[in-house]
Amino acid sequence: MTDMKPWWQSKTLWGAVVTIVSAVLGLTGLDLAEADREALTGLLTSLGAGLGGVIAIMGRIRARNRIG
């Protein structure tokens, strides 16, 4: 594994978050189906990537030095 990616683009990370949330919801009496978990993981991955893009653009706008 030599390629690097930002943490928010990791499906493994978001899958773990969904698993933890599912477990907590299960303790409260709510249950997420497997298809719901997969859809939520995909949604969170996409949102994380979009948020990362917005942060990168905002960082460039606020930067004080030129790229060169």
In tens digits, the chain (68 residues) has pLDDT values of: 677 877 877 888 888 888 888 888 888 888 878 888 888 888 888 888 888 888 888 888 888 877 76
Confirm if 46 and 8 have CB atoms less than 8 A apart: no
pTM of the full structure: 0.58
